[in-house]
Amino acid sequence: MSHTTLIELVKRYSPSGQEGEAVDYLVQRMAALGYARAYADEAGNAIGVMGEGPRQIVLLGHIDTVPGEIPVRVEEDILHGRGSVDAKGPLAAFVDAVAALGPVEGWQFVVIGAVDEERHSTGARYIAASGAYRPEYAIIGEPNRWERIALGYKGSAWAEATITRPQAHTASGQQTAAEAAVELWTAIRALADRYNADKPRAFDQLLPTLRGIASGEDGFSQWARLRIGCRLPVEVTPDEWYARLRQLSTADISPLGHPIPAWRGERNTPLVRAFTGAIRAVGGKPGFVRKTGTADANILAPVWGCPAVVYGPGDSALDHTPQEHLSLTEYRRAVTVLVYVLRRLTRD
């Protein structure tokens, strides 16, 4: 099995916002591999279509990476390079698996290399809003090892909490804005501890984080500002999280970015059964995971409403690290699993 798609894609350094060269390569590669159509859509996503049948399977991975270029090299069985794991490995495996299977009568395979996943998921949001795809099954590309299937990702909500107080003499004993900010963060941690007390799994917990703090004053007032993030369980929506923050304090709570609800996929589906059978056929023992991060599955799976899983080769512990690398043996196994899955789904 050739590793050309993977290696050449990793060679095109593509941090979020700079995906153009990688998208151009992937479009050309899919055309060369026999895809019926290959192009970049208006959002800049790379799109490859194999087959023209009325039934559709979408395989979507992201083509952008975090910043930090790593020299691309192959040492024995290991490919080193930014994106080899997160998530060009899964995306390239999609491309190669669909090409290996080829067109299947009555079916259409759509492979998407989505842009901007590491920042705002602009590519996935465009896909979701476009209504252009109606898949019966969706496979989202993220690294979870070739033997494992991810069936859940936590939600995410960011907020800025701003507290203001009238200026007072330091000897007055009145609470300062900075003190109130510390009190608010302590209350948030206590809220999370109470919620998490009977929930041993991180996937089910509230996981708040304080990522910024600033304060200042002028002659008449003082202020303090916290930048707060939280990984959310399925049972708590972003709106519910913001409401809980507002109940804790008189601080002004301003949501930041794009809040993302958590997603949990169904286990008893033809898609999951196809994956477990494929992994066993390749000699592995299937495993299931639910992740504490977020992925494009959070955005797309609820919109499409079809059976969905997250799959891809690579050790997610290497995501975003200077040591990012992928075993080529693992890559080949993942491609073989995907071919088996697509063949089984389109045969039933």
Contacts of 318 (CB under 8 A, 6+ apart): 85, 86, 143, 324, 325
Q: How many helices and strands in the chain, by DSSP H and E?
A: 9, 16
**What is the pairing mode between strands 55-62 and 137-141?**
parallel
For residues 153 and 297, the answer to whether their CB atoms sit within 8 Å is yes
- CA nearest neighbour of 206 among 197, 222, 195, 219: 195
Q: Tell me the DSSP string of 311-336.
A: E-SS-GGGTTSTT-EEEHHHHHHHHH
**79 is written with which tokens?**
């490919």
- CA nearest neighbour of 318 among 116, 148, 86, 90: 86
- Please calculate the CA angle 207-208-213 and round it to the nearest 5 degrees: 160
For residues 49 and 110, the answer to whether their CB atoms sit within 8 Å is yes
Alpha-carbon dihedral 55, 57, 331, 284, rounded to 10 degrees: -80
The catalytic residue positions are 64, 117
Q: What is the helix (H) or strand (E) element at residue 227, kind and residue range?
A: strand 221-232
d(CA 308, CA 233): 18
- CA nearest neighbour of 334 among 308, 309, 314: 314
- CA nearest neighbour of 156 among 242, 238, 255: 238
Q: How many CA atoms lie within 13 A of 160 on its CB side?
A: 10
- CA nearest neighbour of 140 among 128, 149, 132, 129: 149
